Amino acid sequence: MSGVAVGVMLTASLIAVFYLAWRLAGLPFPAFDVFDWMTRKLPGSALTSSLDAIVYIIRTLHLGPTAETAKIFEKAMAIAVLLVTAAIAGAVLFALLRALRGNYAYLFGIAIGAAVGAPVTLISRSVSQTATTGPIISAVWILAAFLVWGGALGWCYRRLSVAGVVRIGRRRFLIRLGGATAVIAMAGAVVGALAVRRRREVVVGERWSANHTLPNAAAEVKPAPGARPEFTPLEQHYQIDINTIPPTISKDNWRLKIGGLVESPLAFMLDDLRGKYEPLHQFITLACISNPIAGDLIGTTRWTGVSMQRLLPDLRLKPEATHLKIRSADGFFEVVPLETIKADERVMLTYAWDGAPLLTEHGFPLRIYIPNLYGMKQPKWIESIEATDHWEPGYWVERGWDAQARMKATSAIDTIAINMMIVQADARTLVPIGGIAHAGARGVSKVEVQVDGGEWREAQLRAPLSGLTWVIWRYDWPFREGRHTFTVRCYDGEGAPQIMEETPPAPAGASGLHSKSMMF
Ligand SMILES: Nc1nc2c(c(=O)[nH]1)N[C@H]1C(S)=C(S)[C@@H](COP(=O)(O)O)O[C@H]1N2
Ligand SMILES: [Mo]
């Protein structure tokens, strides 16, 4: 029992020290590396259902923005995993030492430190997401920290079991140890959190949207008060990564490597892509396939990059090339058929969002855009493109998600603006109701609202930012007292209605109608 207690306390201190060293010196934070490694090894179905569960909990309990809150959950789980593993190791050590009557406590302590530390070092090295230090320094650091941790376990065992001349009581020792642990953990957490990490974030004033009006600013139909912003501020844009911490890439060391079925391998610098090709600007709505009906895993901004069609001739592909395999710094990958690129000039290697270099979490320095597909098909942090002669499933397709991942038409009620009633000349009052409708690159042709299961009535559509974004809809409802339920549905640009049958996000994106009830 005391093995577990001591194990937990010492491990908490170890994690705090790791955290501090990570924030201050860029040394690896093994808790996140190990967790990311585990999620790679886990079967896709387990990953999906645990993510679904987290998203469900967040939304049911209204815990906050889905993507951000899910990340906090993930981080807590990552730390818990390391804590539990190391606590078990502590218990095993104490049981062993008890059997050995306390002999060789240090030796076995250090041995268990090595036994836990060595695999953690290797795993952290293979994932190497959190460290900015070199591989040798990182490895020495993790291993040394675990050896000290193991030695400390052995020392604690001796203090607890071997009678000494000035021995303090077991209970007092544990309390002191607990106190010391709490101080170290708190200090680590506070100092680590305060440590300013170098961030290349963009000043708000440098963004395109800070100095420009949106192309549809003059559109007749105005959003209903309280609807989500039509142009998503960068810090509000959802973020979904396979990693606990997004990869930090330095512009100077980065190259876009082109290989495989090409006449000769190439490497582009970021400035090559920005300078040598005419930039393409597109207003785009990106959505995650995990987005539940009316969820917040969807956002709209202005993307800038190079059309893949323009770049293609310069890649000098061999005639047998049919696909491009795109690989990212975090191990994510996706395969794009050349046909898709040749058929659609909007497929774009993107280097800016809202007129500024991509933020780290959104894929700096380079990500791709492929119209009509969910985010799971669109790698961020691109490092290389390999020309191949065959299709392969991408990262999430390998894990059971839909191979097409075509965006489904979807609509949501964002607001029932009861406190913004409009009183008309004939004294009738209208309540503005509104939200978004989205159908990938197909656009939205019609939105309808139903009240209390009655007739479907057509809503007004605001001219969208582009054919690739969501459409803001609005329905000014003639007010009646009582409890009412509103439901929304949309039709895509080709006239196809959104799927009304309710299905969960896995494996091909959520379908179903969004309803909201309110007492007036
Ligand atoms: N390299 C890489 N690219 C990635 C991902 C990732 O985890 N790694 N996640 C994908 C998923 S599932 C989505 S929904 C979008 C999210 O982009 P955002 O975080 O910028 O909103 O990125 C996609 N591209
Ligand atoms: Mo996603």
Looking at ligand 1, which atom is closest to the CA of residue 332? 1
310 falls in which pLDDT band (50, 70, 90)?
A: very high
Instruction: Verify whether ligand 1 is closer than 6 Å to residue 377 (CB atom).
Output: no
Question: How is the beta sheet containing 483-492 ordered, strand by strand?
Answer: 456-458, 444-451, 483-492, 514-519
Atom of ligand 1 nearest to the CA of 328: 1
Residue with CA closest to ligand 1 atom 6: 241
Question: Cα separation of 57 and 60, whole Å?
Answer: 5
Asked if residue 482 has pLDDT above 80, the reply is yes
The helix (H) or strand (E) run that includes residue 3 is helix 2-25
Residue 82's SS3 state is helix
What is the three-class DSSP state of 416? strand
Alpha helix locations (H) across 128-246? 135-161, 170-194, 208-211
Q: Domain 227-388 carries which CATH code?
A: 3.90.420.10
The pLDDT of residue 162 is: 66
**Average pLDDT score over residue span 26-50:** 87
Distance 351 CA to ligand 2 centre (A): 19
Is the CB of 284 inside a 6 Å radius of any atom of ligand 1?
no
At residue 79, what are phi and psi to the nearest 5 degrees? -70, -40
Question: Can you give the pLDDT at residue 188?
Answer: 86
Question: CA 126, CA 330: separation in Å to the nearest integer?
Answer: 11
Both tokens of 78, joined, read 């990552």
Residues 6+ apart with CB under 8 A from 345: 280, 307, 309, 310
What is the fold of 410-519?
Immunoglobulin-like (2.60.40)
**Residues of the chain with pLDDT > 70: what percent?**
97
Helices (H), 332-402: 338-343, 395-398
Q: Is 399 in the pocket of ligand 1 (CB under 6 A)?
A: no
Confidence of residue 303 (pLDDT cuts 50, 70, 90): very high
Residue 238 main-chain phi, psi, to 5 deg: -60, 160
Ligand 1 pocket test, pick from 47, 240, 245, 362 with the greatest ligand atom count within 8 Å of Cβ, gives 240
Report CA(376)–ligand 1 centroid distance (Å): 6
> Which pLDDT belongs to residue 158?
87
- Give residue for tokens 């933020």: 359
332 lines ligand 1 (CB under 6 A): yes
Q: And the tokens for 444? A: 């939205």
Q: What is the pLDDT of residue 201?
A: 62
Check pLDDT > 60 for residue 32. yes
Least confident of 49-63, 163-177, 398-412, 479-493: 163-177
Decide: 465 and 215 in contact? Cβ < 8 Å. Answer: yes
Judge whether 337 and 391 are in contact, CB under 8 Å: yes
Q: Which ligand sits closest to the CA of 290?
A: 2
| Pocket flag, ligand 1, residue 296 (CB < 6 Å) | no
Rounded to an integer, what distance in angstroms lies between the CA atom of residue 68 and that of residue 361? Answer: 11
Binding site membership of 380 for ligand 1 (Cβ less than 6 Å): yes
* Tokens 């990106």, residue located: 286
User: From the CA of 287, how far away is ligand 1's center (Å)?
Assistant: 10
Instruction: Report the pLDDT value the prediction gives residue 196, as an integer from 0 to 100.
Output: 59
Of the residues 232, 256, 288, which should be mutated to test ligand 1's pocket, given the most ligand atoms within 8 Å of the CB? 288
* Between residues 180 and 45, the one the model is more confident about: 180
Position with higher pLDDT, 323 vs 43: 323
Whole-prediction pTM: 0.88
Tell me, in angstroms, the distance from the centre of ligand 1 to residue 193's CA.
25
Span(s) in the chain for CATH 3.90.420.10: 227-388
The answer for 445, left when phi > 0, alpha when psi is -120 to 50, beta otherwise, is: alpha
Question: What pLDDT was estimated at residue 299?
Answer: 98
Return the closest-CA partner of residue 171 out of 160, 185, 158. 160
In the predicted structure, residue 93 carries a pLDDT above the cut 60: yes
- Hey, whose CA ends up nearest to atom 12 of ligand 1? 376
> Cα Rg for the chain, rounded, in angstroms?
27
Nearest ligand (C-alpha, residue 332): 1
Whole-number pLDDT of residue 172: 85
Q: Is 237 in the pocket of ligand 1 (CB under 6 A)?
A: yes
Distance of CA 415 to the CA centre of its chain: 26
Query: Residue 240 CA: which ligand is closest?
Result: 1
Q: How far away, in angstroms, is 362 Cα from ligand 1 center?
A: 8
Across 97-122, average pLDDT: 91
379 Cβ closer than 6 Å to some ligand 1 atom: yes
What is the position in ligand 1's atom list of the atom closest to the CA of 289? 14
Instruction: Examine the pLDDT at 199 and tell me if it is beyond 80.
Output: no
The pLDDT of residue 126? 86
Cβ pair 459, 448 in contact under 8 A: yes
DSSP string, 360-379: GGGTTT-EEE-TTB-GGGS-
The residue among 359, 357, 360 whose CA lies nearest residue 304 is 357
C-alpha separations of 31 from 22, 137, 256, 257, 458 in Å: 11, 17, 30, 31, 52
Ligand with an atom nearest the CA of residue 364: 1
| Helix or strand holding residue 501 (H, E) | none
Ligand 1 atom closest to the Cα of residue 380 is 3
The kind and range of the H/E element at 411 are strand 410-416
Cα-based angle 24, 244, 73 (whole degrees, multiple of 5): 105
DSSP-H helix ranges across 256-320: 270-276, 308-315
- Terminal CA-to-CA distance of the chain, rounded, Å? 58
Non-local (6+) Cβ contacts of 194 within 8 A are none
Q: Is 33 in the pocket of ligand 1 (CB under 6 A)?
A: no
Indicate the average pLDDT of the chain. 92
Could you write out the DSSP letters of every residue in 274-287? Answer: HHHS--EEEEEEEE
Residue 165 confidence (pLDDT) above 50: no
Gap from CA of 150 to ligand 1 centroid (Å) = 38
> How many other β-carbons are positioned within 10 Å of the β-carbon of residue 517?
11
Q: Is 39 in the pocket of ligand 1 (CB under 6 A)?
A: no
pLDDT of residue 168: 67
Contact status, residue 204 vs residue 35, Cβ threshold 8 Å: no
Mutate to test the pocket of ligand 1, among 256, 380, 438 (most ligand atoms within 8 A of CB): 380
The mean per-residue pLDDT over the stretch 66-89 comes to 90
Q: Give the ligand at the shortest distance from the Cα of 301.
A: 1
Nearest of 290, 219, 185 to residue 465 by alpha carbon: 219
Closest CA relative to residue 257, chosen from 145, 366, 127: 366
CA dihedral of 337, 338, 343, 344, whole degrees rounded to 10: 80
Nearest in space to 29 (alpha carbons), one of 133, 184, 136: 133
How far, in Å, from the CA of 288 to the mean position of ligand 2?
4
**Using 50, 70 and 90 to split pLDDT, how confident is the model at 197?**
low
Band (pLDDT 50/70/90 cuts) for residue 56 is: confident
Which atom number of ligand 1 is nearest to the Cα of residue 333?
1
Which of 48-57, 80-89, 273-282: highest mean pLDDT?
273-282
Name the residue with the closest Cα to ligand 1, atom 10: 376
| 3-state secondary structure (DSSP) of residue 456 | strand
Distance, CA 320 to ligand 2 centroid (Å)?
31
CATH 2.60.40.650 range(s) for the chain read 410-519
Tell me if 202 CB under 6 Å of ligand 1. Answer: no
Closest-lying ligand 1 atom to the alpha carbon of residue 396:
12
Q: What's the mean pLDDT in 106-114?
A: 94
At 422, the amino acid letter reads: I
Tokens at residue 497, please? Answer: 């209605």
